[in-house]
């Protein structure tokens, strides 16, 4: 059945061209950027309380980065042409720039992983036998030096790579916001705040994911949850959430205050078609409630027991993961629900379950990085032997 419309829509405004996959793409890249920032807070800025999640953050970044292109490839009519962005780069194309940014960032992450886990790879190569030994020997790249000088060199190179990766991580996701912000034909997307909003919300989603993953992993492995680690991540999450939520509200307030012709169509869209996803989920359930929960965790930290702190931080993190996804949905889908004529709306988009870009495909793509993370942890010890580099804990 053809989609229902309200008012007057141009023919090219009737259908949603950028569907669930284009919502999922910036969501996954945001998790990548946020996880890398947490890793860099330890490796570059010496936040020793984040030591227990340093390796987990780096592994999470790598696993999600490995599947970040899958939504785009699934969206393309000819996914086999996707690699042409890298093979035949077009330096004047904003979209083609993703190939260069992604490839460069992937190399930096791979190198940092190798230097962080090099000692573990060598020990595993020495202790293993058969195929497993050959695998670790291949990962060791023929380097078996475990002297203190070599390990110190590993730490220095890791710090340099992490420092290089910070602006690249920001560029990777800020670029996604730039793509939307540079589309002049869409008044909701075309705003200088768009890259900044995408970047801050990316950091929020990455930190929130690590809070959840860290506590789940500790429960599964039967290891203690470090109080300082959760408290520190909660503080950073609260800080970036305040910045992200403020920018999102300022964007809407600016459009409302200017009261230009675009607000005549964007205002009713937010109040009606997107009232659930924008007001109820993005602003209240995923915005206001986590803001209050994290404020309680940060302000009342010294008076709170560990189970209560961890529970509140986990609940707030899960709600923030939902909030960031809702924000991506409202921007990508909501920006396509009103006509360029400023006089009509398309009815709410509902993805199918078994479509090529439907819910099932999105769920499978989201599960792949978690499977990769489990495999990664089996090959390289994400949480073991932390005492050698760990700072003091409480």
Confidence of residue 366 (pLDDT cuts 50, 70, 90): very high
- Dihedral sign, CA of 352, 356, 357, 360? positive
Residue 346, SS3 per DSSP: strand
Q: Which whole number is the average pLDDT over 111-127?
A: 92
Distance CA 157, CA 151 (A): 10
Query: Which of 172-176, 198-202, 222-226, 294-298 shows the lowest per-residue confidence on average (mean pLDDT)?
Result: 172-176
Distance CA 190, CA 178 (A): 9
pTM: 0.90
pLDDT over threshold 80, residue 91: no
Confidence of residue 384 (pLDDT cuts 50, 70, 90): low
Q: Which whole number is the average pLDDT over 123-127?
A: 89
Q: Which whole number is the average pLDDT over 167-188?
A: 82
pLDDT in tens, 35-75: 999 999 999 998 899 999 999 999 999 999 999 989 988 99
Confidence of residue 259 (pLDDT cuts 50, 70, 90): confident
Q: Which whole number is the average pLDDT over 112-117?
A: 94
Share of the chain above pLDDT 90, in %: 54
pLDDT at 374 (0 to 100): 94
pLDDT in tens, 181-235: 877 778 888 888 888 999 999 999 999 999 999 999 999 999 999 999 999 999 9
pLDDT over threshold 60, residue 1: no
pLDDT over threshold 70, residue 393: no
pLDDT at 362 (0 to 100): 95
Q: Which whole number is the average pLDDT over 319-329?
A: 96
pLDDT over threshold 60, residue 322: yes
* Per-residue CA distances from 208 to 19, 45, 198 (Å): 25, 20, 15
Q: Which residues of 63-90 are buried (b: 16+ CB within 10 A; e: fewer)?
A: bbbbbbbbbbbbbeeeeeeeeebeeeee
**Helix locations, the chain, DSSP H:** 20-43, 54-66, 70-75, 84-87, 97-127, 130-140, 148-181, 193-221, 227-258, 263-271, 289-299, 306-332, 359-379
Distance CA 198, CA 174 (A): 6
pLDDT at 262 (0 to 100): 83
Distance CA 83, CA 105 (A): 16
The residues facing 5 across adjacent strands are 346
pLDDT at 386 (0 to 100): 42
């Amino acid at each position: 059945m053809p989609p229902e419309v309200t008012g007057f829509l141009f023919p090219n405004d009737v259908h949603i061209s950028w569907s669930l996959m284009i919502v999922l793409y910036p969501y996954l890249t945001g998790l990548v950027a946020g996880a890398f920032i947490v890793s860099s807070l330890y490796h570059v800025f010496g936040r020793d309380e984040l030591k227990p999640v340093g390796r987990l953050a780096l592994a999470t970044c790598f696993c999600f980065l490995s599947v970040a292109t899958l939504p785009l490839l699934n969206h393309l009519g000819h996914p086999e042409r996707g690699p042409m962005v890298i093979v035949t780069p077009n330096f004047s194309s904003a979209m083609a720039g993703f190939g260069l940014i992604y490839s460069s960032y992937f190399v930096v992450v791979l190198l940092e992983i190798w230097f962080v886990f090099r000692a573990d790879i060598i020990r595993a190569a020495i202790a293993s036998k058969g195929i497993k030994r050959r695998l670790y020997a291949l990962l060791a790249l023929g380097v078996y030096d475990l002297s203190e000088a070599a390990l110190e060199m590993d730490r220095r190179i890791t710090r340099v790579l992490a420092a290089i990766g910070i602006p690249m991580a920001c560029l990777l996701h800020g670029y996604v916001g730039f793509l939307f912000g540079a589309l002049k034909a869409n008044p909701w997307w075309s705003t200088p705040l768009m890259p900044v909003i995408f970047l801050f919300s990316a950091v929020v989603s990455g930190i929130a994911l690590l809070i959840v993953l860290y506590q789940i992993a500790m429960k599964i492995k039967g290891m203690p949850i470090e109080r300082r680690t959760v408290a520190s991540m909660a503080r950073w999450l609260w800080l970036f959430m305040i910045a992200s939520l403020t920018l999102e509200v300022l964007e809407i307030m600016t459009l409302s205050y200017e009261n230009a012709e675009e607000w005549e169509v964007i205002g009713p869209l937010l109040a009606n078609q997107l009232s659930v996803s924008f007001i109820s989920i993005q602003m209240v359930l995923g915005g206001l409630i986590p803001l209050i929960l994290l404020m309680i965790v940060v302000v009342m930290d010294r008076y709170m027991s560990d189970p209560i702190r961890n529970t509140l931080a986990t609940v707030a993190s899960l709600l923030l993961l939902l909030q960031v996804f809702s924000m991506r949905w409202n921007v990508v889908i909501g920006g396509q629900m009103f006509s360029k004529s400023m006089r009509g709306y398309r009815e709410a988009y509902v993805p199918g379950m078994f479509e090529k870009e439907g819910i099932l495909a999105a769920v499978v793509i989201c599960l792949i990085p978690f499977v990769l993370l489990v495999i990664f942890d089996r090959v390289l010890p994400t949480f073991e032997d932390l005492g050698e580099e760990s700072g003091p804990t409480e």
